[in-house]
Chains A and B, each alone.
Chain A
Amino acid sequence: MSEALEPGQRGIVWKGVGLSYPGPPVVESLRPTDLGLEPGAYVAITGPSGSGKSTLLNVLGLLDRSTTGRFLLDGVDVTHCRDADQAELRARSFGFVFQRFHLLPTLSARENVELSLMYAGARPSERRDLAAAALERVGLSDRWSHRPTELSGGEQQRVAIARAIVRDQQFLLADEPTGSLDSRTAASVLDLLESLASDGRGVIHVTHNESVAHRASRRLHVLDGVVSEGDR
């Protein structure tokens, strides 16, 4: 599944990457997988509940550490790097969007977006400018001062997307981003993700929904921790 991507190229290269938990019994959440993901790809990950979709996304986004194989990010081996280094890579390369948004309720939309920049070491004035630009990109330039409770579900998810792209991250990893939204709002969020992918950003999108998956340019199917190339 590494397709055309080779070591040294931009993007993600996996060689036998897997994740298992020591037992007994040993649980193989993600079986050893070879994979290549180039920037700008719009990839849908599908599979039944408990199949390992989220595990795949977590290992891809360095939220979980693989227990086997090698992980190259932009040609750099990140398999065994320290936690602090993983945090830095995670912040630089990946933006996350979750089903339940994960916005801090006490912060305004802009402050939620700025939080990501704080951990990048950006200065306060720089944070404000970049957060405002990201909110404008997702169509919320007039809602920056609102707290999450004052925003609709779709607006909250757009804030989360703004947070995920504010540092111009290479990949946007979305775990069921439309799972908590009505169909009309979900469609607008999907349109936004599609447009971000067309801007050259990698969008990796976990979904149960077949019609949603069909909007992606590439599809990975996960079943019992085994990743396979799916039908378009």
Chain B
Amino acid sequence: MTGGRRHRSNPIRLSPGDIMRDAARTIRSRPGRTVGLGLAVALGVATFVGVLSMSDAADRQVQRRIAAARPELVKLRPNVPSDGLFDDFGADVVERVDGTAGVRQSVVVHTYTDRAFRVRLGSDGEQVETGPVMGVEGDFVEATRSDTEGQGLDATTTAGRAHVAVVGGALADRIGLADPTTRPTIWVEGVPFMVIGLVTDSRYLSGAVDGVIIPRRTAIATLGEEVFDSTAYVRTERGSADTAAVALPLRLTPQAPERWAAEVPRVPIDVAEGISADLRNLSLAMAALVLFIGAVAIGNAMMRSVFERTPEIGLRRALGARSRHVLSLLVVEAALIGTVAGILGVVIGVVASLAVAGHNHWPITVSDWAVAVSVPGAMAVGALGGLPPAITAIRITPSQALRRE
């Protein structure tokens, strides 16, 4: 035997249509396996879309809360108190402050700081030491965001010299004052005041709940005008406090704005935004983990499926299928399952995230980019998951594959 010619191959290329039809037929022919595989991916994608959408919704909620906490208060004090006199601010301070752009309400609070006051309910009540006693002018309730029972002190009430008082809720408990609507009388250092209301809580002037608040002019007339701390509480529109803090000193004394110290109390927005970013990163990590688990699950399921189909693969090889034909069939099958499951997963994820957002009264949010990447991502996960078993399958010789039952 002298030998023969070497064989030269004539590569056969299957059309994409053939591969797709063959893969689709195989998928349809094994509904149980297809549903099992698809569910693994669909749940992965649903979790991916759901987690990111819910994270977006939660993030927006955090942002909403941050926006709600944007500064709305300016505390204005004389930089160098003159002599501790009431007229640091001038007589028409409230009118001038209230006319400033962005300002909603204001109140000037003068607090006696030189001595303790004693108070009793009625002429024979137990005498106790009060918290701060304050003479105010302006809309005390709104400017300090105070909750009241009965009547509060507003601009009209505080403009006169009436002997009326609003008592802090804690102090009222101590002196046995329960119902302000009966207009009881309290005695402060022997001076009678008619109680018109209680301050049960105050966001910006927490000391008020243990104190006595009376009109400024009444305070001057009855308790004296020396040694106090004067502060204007100016409540602005949300986010306007910084601007108002600059404008107010100019408004009060255009020739000497440095006379005033304007302070804007802040909530820790930077920290809140940091927490929001951490939340988002955590969600992304969780979503990536879920997707990875999905890829492993589909790979594992495909491995079992390919193992079961080994005789079929052997038959296809015997009929002339090249390794790449088998490879493309298995990968396209897995990618098709991934694609359909991805679409299903997006629907489930969107519905779930809308339901959760609705239930928690969060902003309705669907993560656009999560939806956009999910279907191609699921297709890629399917294809990648199907690749290792497909490679394993084409390494088996046709005769070995045919022998497996």
Q: Are B7 and A7 in contact (CB under 8 A)?
A: no
Known: A104-B315, A116-B320, A120-B320. A88 touches B10 (CB 8 A): yes
Assess whether B156 is interfacial by the CB under 8 Å rule: no
Assess whether A84 is interfacial by the CB under 8 Å rule: yes
Q: How far is the CA of A11 from the CA of B402 in the complex (A)?
A: 25
Contact for A88 among B4, B9, B315, CB less than 8 A:
B9
Q: Are A85 and B7 in contact (CB under 8 A)?
A: yes
Known: A64-B397, A91-B319, A96-B318. A118 touches B4 (CB 8 A): no
Known: A58-B399, A102-B402, A106-B26. A119 touches B5 (CB 8 A): no
Q: Are B9 and A15 in contact (CB under 8 A)?
A: no
Assess whether A126 is interfacial by the CB under 8 Å rule: no
CB neighbours (8 Å) of B5 from chain A are 75-77
| Closest chain A CB from B67 CB (angstroms) | 59
Q: Give the total of B residues in contact with A, Cβ under 8 Å.
A: 38
| 0/1 string, B316-353, CB within 8 A of A gives 1 | 11111111110000000000000000000000000000
| Closest chain B CB from A163 CB (angstroms) | 7
Assess whether B95 is interfacial by the CB under 8 Å rule: no
Q: How far is the CA of A72 from the CA of B397 in the complex (A)?
A: 21
Assess whether B32 is interfacial by the CB under 8 Å rule: no
- CB-nearest residue of chain A relative to B401? A63
Assess whether B398 is interfacial by the CB under 8 Å rule: yes
Q: Are B321 and A84 in contact (CB under 8 A)?
A: no
The B-contacting residues of A in range 36-91, CB under 8 angstroms, are: 54, 58, 61, 63-65, 70, 72-73, 75-78, 81-85, 87-91
Assess whether B14 is interfacial by the CB under 8 Å rule: yes
CB neighbours (8 Å) of A76 from chain B are 4-7
Assess whether A192 is interfacial by the CB under 8 Å rule: no
Contact for A77 among B7, B321, B322, B397, CB less than 8 A:
B7
Assess whether A8 is interfacial by the CB under 8 Å rule: yes
| Closest chain A CB from B330 CB (angstroms) | 15
| Closest chain B CB from A78 CB (angstroms) | 5
CB neighbours (8 Å) of A72 from chain B are 1, 3-4
CB neighbours (8 Å) of B405 from chain A are 100
CB neighbours (8 Å) of A89 from chain B are 7
Contact for B319 among A64, A70, A83, A115, CB less than 8 A:
A115
Contact for A7 among B1, B6, B320, B397, CB less than 8 A:
B1
The A-contacting residues of B in range 6-37, CB under 8 angstroms, are: 6-7, 9-14, 18, 22, 25-26, 28-30
The A-contacting residues of B in range 368-403, CB under 8 angstroms, are: 397-399, 402
Q: How far is the CA of A87 from the CA of B12 in the complex (A)?
A: 10
CB neighbours (8 Å) of A118 from chain B are 14, 18, 22
Assess whether B255 is interfacial by the CB under 8 Å rule: no
Assess whether A121 is interfacial by the CB under 8 Å rule: yes
| Closest chain B CB from A76 CB (angstroms) | 5
Query: Which one of B7, B28, B312 has the highest number of Cβ atoms from chain A below 10 Å of its Cβ?
Result: B7
CB neighbours (8 Å) of A8 from chain B are 4
Q: How far is the CA of A84 from the CA of B394 in the complex (A)?
A: 11
| 0/1 string, A100-111, CB within 8 A of B gives 1 | 101011110000
Assess whether B360 is interfacial by the CB under 8 Å rule: no
Q: How far is the CA of A77 from the CA of B253 in the complex (A)?
A: 107
Q: Give the total of A residues in contact with B, Cβ under 8 Å.
A: 43
| Closest chain A CB from B363 CB (angstroms) | 48
Q: Are B12 and A120 in contact (CB under 8 A)?
A: yes
Assess whether B82 is interfacial by the CB under 8 Å rule: no
- CB-nearest residue of chain B relative to A78? B7
Q: Are B26 and A119 in contact (CB under 8 A)?
A: no
Q: Are B1 and A116 in contact (CB under 8 A)?
A: no
Q: How far is the CA of A12 from the CA of B104 in the complex (A)?
A: 102
Q: Are A81 and B319 in contact (CB under 8 A)?
A: no
CB neighbours (8 Å) of A77 from chain B are 3-7
| Closest chain B CB from A134 CB (angstroms) | 13
| Closest chain A CB from B342 CB (angstroms) | 24
- CB-nearest residue of chain B relative to A58? B399
Contact for B315 among A15, A64, A102, A120, CB less than 8 A:
A102
Known: A7-B1, A106-B29. A63 touches B9 (CB 8 A): no
| Closest chain B CB from A113 CB (angstroms) | 10
- CB-nearest residue of chain B relative to A104? B312
Contact for A63 among B28, B312, B402, CB less than 8 A:
B402
Contact for B402 among A73, A84, A98, A116, CB less than 8 A:
A98
Q: Are A121 and B12 in contact (CB under 8 A)?
A: yes
Known: A83-B323, A87-B321, A119-B325. A63 touches B398 (CB 8 A): yes
Contact for A84 among B3, B28, B322, CB less than 8 A:
B322
Q: Are A81 and B7 in contact (CB under 8 A)?
A: yes
Contact for B318 among A54, A63, A65, A120, CB less than 8 A:
A63
CB neighbours (8 Å) of B322 from chain A are 83-84, 87-88, 119
CB neighbours (8 Å) of A105 from chain B are 29
CB neighbours (8 Å) of B402 from chain A are 63, 98, 102
| Closest chain B CB from A120 CB (angstroms) | 6
- CB-nearest residue of chain B relative to A102? B315
Assess whether A138 is interfacial by the CB under 8 Å rule: no
B interface vs A, CB < 8 Å? 1-7, 9-14, 18, 22, 25-26, 28-30, 311-312, 315-325, 397-399, 402, 405
Known interface pairs A77-B5, A106-B25; 10 further A-B residue pairs with C-beta atoms within 8 A, sorted by A's residue number = A63-B318, A65-B397, A72-B3, A84-B324, A88-B9, A102-B318, A106-B26, A119-B14, A119-B320, A121-B12
